[in-house]
């Protein structure tokens, strides 16, 4: 087992440690760094990484949701854009996670939905075209949310959506 695989294995173990926030945060940062710097080595572990990241996108602490989102973006960057056979199931899984977060109706759930949406728009290529309207509706619905975290995340997502599909974005109400 290479040192990268050892670091990843240790980080995934730390993610499950509910008692130590420091270990969980360190794990998220290590996973982001590993996915950014050694993508070909970690590609076989993508499934495990993405499923382990999902709960942390809905963590009760803001800092963990942001760190998990950055790690998610790095993971999505590992998947070659031309490899639709690999990309499609994971993008669908993440879109379902976005829907699950939205369905929770909590600050953590809405924030997770917005963070996942942003990563899917930035890394999902044409996959999000079919989900553009619902994702835009989510951001528009939450842009006036009373919680400042949700408000900021929704407002931050709007220009990303506008750049992704300017024509579709201008047609929104």
Confidence at residue 36, expressed as pLDDT on a 0 to 100 scale:
87
Confidence at residue 1, expressed as pLDDT on a 0 to 100 scale:
60
Confidence at residue 171, expressed as pLDDT on a 0 to 100 scale:
86
Gap between the Cα atoms of 131 and 121, Å rounded = 10
Residue carrying the six token digits 């949406």: 117
Among candidate residues 111, 93, 92, the one with its CA nearest the CA of residue 102: 111
Confidence at residue 173, expressed as pLDDT on a 0 to 100 scale:
58
Kindly provide the b/e burial profile for residues 140-163, where b requires at least 16 CB atoms within 10 angstroms of the residue's own CB. Answer: eebbebeeebbeebbeebeebbee
Confidence at residue 42, expressed as pLDDT on a 0 to 100 scale:
83
Q: Output the DSSP codes for 14-55.
A: HHT-SS-HHHHHHHHHHHHHHHHH-HHHHGGGHHHHHHHHGG
Mean pLDDT per segment of 10 residues, for the chain of length 173 residues? 85 90 95 84 87 94 97 88 78 94 94 96 88 94 96 96 92 74
């Amino acid at each position: 087992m290479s040192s990268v695989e050892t670091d990843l294995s240790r980080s995934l173990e730390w993610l499950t440690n509910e008692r130590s926030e420091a270990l969980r945060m360190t794990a998220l940062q290590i996973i982001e760094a590993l996915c950014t710097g050694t993508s070909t080595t970690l590609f076989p572990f993508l499934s495990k990484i993405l499923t382990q990241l999902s709960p942390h996108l809905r963590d009760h602490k803001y800092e963990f949701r942001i760190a998990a989102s950055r790690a998610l973006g790095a993971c999505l960057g590992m998947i070659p854009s031309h490899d639709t056979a690999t990309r499609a199931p994971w993008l669908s899984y993440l879109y379902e996670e976005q829907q699950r977060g939205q369905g929770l109706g909590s600050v953590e759930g809405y924030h997770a939905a917005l963070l996942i949406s942003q990563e899917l728009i930035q890394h999902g290529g044409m996959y999000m075209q079919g989900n553009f309207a619902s994702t835009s509706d989510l951001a528009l619905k939450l842009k006036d949310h009373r919680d400042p975290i949700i408000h900021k995340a929704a407002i931050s997502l709007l220009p990303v959506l506008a750049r992704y599909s300017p024509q579709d974005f201008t047609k929104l109400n």
